[in-house]
Amino acid sequence: MGCASSKRVDVALDVYRPAPSSFAVFDINSIEEPWRVANDTEFENPEKSTHVPALVLAKIDKLDSDGPQSWDEVSKALEDLKPNLNDPIVNPTVNPINVTKSTPPKPPLKTSSFHTLEELDAKLSPKPEKPEKPNKPVVVVDTFKPKVPHPVVNKSSSLKNNIFIMMDKQEREKEGKEPGPARWDPLSDYPELIPPGGSDTVVLYSTSLGGVRKTYEDCNRVRSILENHQVVFDERDVSLHGEFLSELRELIGEEGRVVPRLFVKGRYIGGAEVVVGLNDAGRLARLWSRVRVERGVGRQGCDGCGGARFVPCLDCGGSCKIVVGDEKERCSKCNENGLAHCPLCL
């Protein structure tokens, strides 16, 4: 059963062989591979192929002849035969002429960088010359040569005596300014408007009435910002004292009808939007540290008014009227609301 291809085919004994002159006739056994030659050499000469010195092999043979030994004893016995790689006898590749003692490590290179102005001056300044011997006469040679007058920077001189720095100092002295680096004043960007008695303090014009909701919320927001920064400020409530509103109108005109308004050491900062924007940007905290305002509780810790700055009049009780004889007169110690300044924080 099965196909014809699966049947056994008898191969003829006479196989075709090409002529001896053909390039296809070759003997594969005549090819000598280099790895086969190396292996045959090792098997023929095992003593040459070993990498163990003869002294070590002799020591091991002697230990084997004495009897079984432990690994620690064999290791101790071979410690004396530890090869020295720098020895020309053990390592023939080493040239005894080239074997030298180990050189000490080189010191770290000196850097030419500098960190301060004094270090740079020390690098640029020339080294002091040695004084000449007294027996040799000192000859002074005039080597002056006229040059075109223009500012020249002498590297050997100190940087503090630089021609450009000296010229800047002279110009400042002529203008009446103190020589030195100019310090940036953050209040210089704001107009100079000085409230009465507020040239060195922080003054806030606000209101405590909630008639206009937006105005009332803006005043509370600015007040809370100042309290969070722990800044001592003079709050002038225009709803408690009418003169505060008159002062504000004289300072900024018709804009004084809308509060809150903030003044810092005689400079007008702005309203609620400006103060909130400065606080959100982080510039308000830098402003307090630059102008060095007073920090603390201030009038907020007063036991008499609690920061309101006003208390009911003690003479009229807030009615604005006092009895003089048989007639009633206007009280002169309180304002239109029957309030007087707090005697504790005045």
HEC-encoded secondary structure of 51-72: CCCHHHHHHHHHHHHHCCCCHH
In whole angstroms, what is the distance from residue 324 CA to residue 336 CA?
A: 19
Local structure of residue 78 (DSSP, 8 states) = H
| Boundary residue ending a domain (79, 111, 136) | 79
In whole angstroms, what is the distance from residue 51 CA to residue 47 CA?
A: 9
Tell me the CA distances in angstroms from 27 to 20, 23, 105, 320, one per residue in order: 12, 11, 63, 138
CATH number for the domain that contains residue 284: 3.40.30.10
Task: Say whether both 290 and 316 belong to one domain.
Answer: no
pLDDT in tens, 166-180: 887 888 777 765 545
Beta bridge partners of 322: 329
Percent of the chain residues past pLDDT 70, beyond the cut: 60
Question: Does a structural domain hold residue 197?
Answer: yes
Question: Does a structural domain hold residue 8?
Answer: no
Question: Does a structural domain hold residue 84?
Answer: no
**Residue 2: burial class (beta carbons within 10 Å; 0-12, 13-18, 19+):** exposed
Q: Domain of 62?
A: 34-79
Local structure of residue 263 (DSSP, 8 states) = E
Task: Say whether both 237 and 288 belong to one domain.
Answer: yes
Task: Say whether both 333 and 284 belong to one domain.
Answer: no
Task: Say whether both 204 and 274 belong to one domain.
Answer: yes
Question: Does a structural domain hold residue 64?
Answer: yes
Question: Does a structural domain hold residue 259?
Answer: yes
The two three-digit tokens of residue 219, written as one number: 């005043």
Question: Does a structural domain hold residue 218?
Answer: yes
- For residue 291, what are the contacts with CB-CB under 8 A and spacing of at least 6? 186, 187, 264, 265
Give the total number of structural domains in the chain: 3
Question: Does a structural domain hold residue 288?
Answer: yes
In whole angstroms, what is the distance from residue 74 CA to residue 80 CA?
A: 11
Comparing C-alpha atoms, which of 205, 174, 200 is closest to residue 187? 200
Task: Say whether both 194 and 285 belong to one domain.
Answer: yes
Task: Say whether both 196 and 284 belong to one domain.
Answer: yes
Task: Say whether both 210 and 249 belong to one domain.
Answer: yes
pLDDT profile of the chain (346 residues), mean per 10:
52 56 57 58 50 71 74 75 56 52 62 68 69 57 52 52 78 66 77 93 94 94 94 93 93 90 95 95 92 85 84 89 88 91 83
Q: Which residues of 224-245 are buried (b: 16+ CB within 10 A; e: fewer)?
A: ebbeebebebbbbbbbbbeebb
Dihedrals φ, ψ of 93, to 5°? Answer: -70, -15
pLDDT in tens, 219-268: 999 999 999 999 999 999 999 999 999 999 999 998 888 999 999 999 99
